[in-house]
Structure 1
């Protein structure tokens, strides 16, 4: 394979691998229900919504199951009403997660193909680690400076309407999904990504050190032969 093509596949592998980590962290956080269960007490969602813990969990679990569902089913909460706009919004959120699933599969395929085609280069680990560390820092900085504004910008980027602005009189589900919970979810996603970044950097340094030692030993052996 020529140098330009090899570099192209290296770039594709770096981007694909980084996206795999980010999407996987997002999917993990979506399904890590313990975070929400903890927040029920921490954020006092029970008193805020006037619902029992059991009812809160039942409706939250339904939302998560709906977002994970492969089939195109109607959104209907177990014990809470929903407006037609609320139903549309959750359908749009589900579409985003469906796209993330497809993106994950595509990135895995690209990564596998690239690994077989490119020349082995541990610098890829360094590049992916740097990207995974930089992206969360930028996002985390924005959210920490002004979470409300960042939260609004996020919705304006991913949604072409204002259906995400729920009226609790028509979509009381919003009472059990406080904005602070989403902040905690974002922090968890970014923390996972940063931890993976650090792990990759450690692996890179270990492999790089091992490679350097191997080259030095090889050089010394050649000198002895001379």
Structure 2
């Protein structure tokens, strides 16, 4: 008995839309996580954005402190934030703790959405219901269109709005004298990171579209 036969048409369509939204969320989260892990982007930007010259730190010191931040955020264990060679304020420490907490939540969501996706893919492929792929790439297409337009119009405003949504304080507004780490994390780097996330999602859209065209 097919899944569609077990459910009436309306609940079935709602269920399929739910699965597509979950699959889209999973791809978005994976893209965010992979971008965080993709250190070569920052290594390139150190030279491209002339971060050594702007910050006054050596390339070795810049890379060491950046790697520490990424490893700290990715580490699921509770560890105290302590930069290897740069001083920082209590507010700066709290901000990185909050960023780490957000990515801990992302890890949990990846597990939950991953399980739901596995079940959804199994039932849809078994019942040869491939519209699931089409709905997912359309959801992703709608998702990337809005931020892409916002980035093109004014990335600075988008950057500020993002922080106001995800952080309840203004600790992300670093004072370079108290938190010199901000000098090695220019806004242009975050712009490049945002574009990389959208690129990964775009690749996923194209992949899902090809899969749908071949299977449908």
Same-fold call, TM cutoff 0.5: yes
Is residue 97 of structure 2 the alignment partner of residue 91 of structure 1?
A: yes
Higher Cα Rg, which structure:
1
Say what the alpha-carbon RMSD is for the aligned residues: 1.2
Contact 2:17–2:135 (8 Å) recurs in 1: no
The alpha carbon displacement at 1:55 in A equals 0.3
- Per mean C-alpha deviation after superposition, the further-off stretch among 112-121 and 186-195 is 112-121
Q: Distance in 2 between matches of 1:49 and 1:150?
A: 24
2:177 paired with 1:178: no
Q: In structure 1, what is the Cα distance between the partners aligned to 2:20 and 2:152?
A: 28
State the match for 1:221 in structure 2: none
The equivalences for 1:132-143 within 5 A come to 132-143=140-151
Q: Determine whether 1:72 maps to 2:82.
A: no
1:52-201 alignment, distance < 5 Å? 52-117=58-123, 119-201=127-209
Match in the other structure for 2:51:
45
- Write the distance in 2 (CA, Å) between the matches of 1:176 and 1:163: 17
> 1:52 offset after TM fit, Å?
0.5
Q: CA deviation at 1:116?
A: 4.2
1:29–1:188 Cα contact (<8 Å) kept: yes
Q: Is the 8 A contact 1:46 1:56 kept in 2?
A: yes
Query: Matches of 2:11 and 2:146 in 1, distance apart?
Result: 31
Q: Provide the C-alpha distance between the structure 2 equivalents of 1:41 and 1:100, rounded to a whole number of angstroms.
A: 30
Q: What is the deviation of 1:6?
A: 2.9
Instruction: Indicate conservation of the 8 Å contact 1:16/1:111, yes or no.
Output: yes
> Partner of 2:81: helix, strand, or coil?
coil
Moved beyond 3 Å, runs of 4+:
115-120
**Tell me, which stretches of 5 or more residues in structure 1 are unaligned?**
209-226
The answer as to whether partners of 1:9 and 1:114 remain within 8 angstroms in 2 is no
1:2 and 2:7 matched: yes
Paired with 1:77 and 1:16, the residues of 2 have a C-alpha distance of 36
Task: Give unpaired runs (5+ residues) of structure 2.
Answer: 1-5
Aligned length: 208
What is the TM-score normalised by the length of structure 2? 0.93
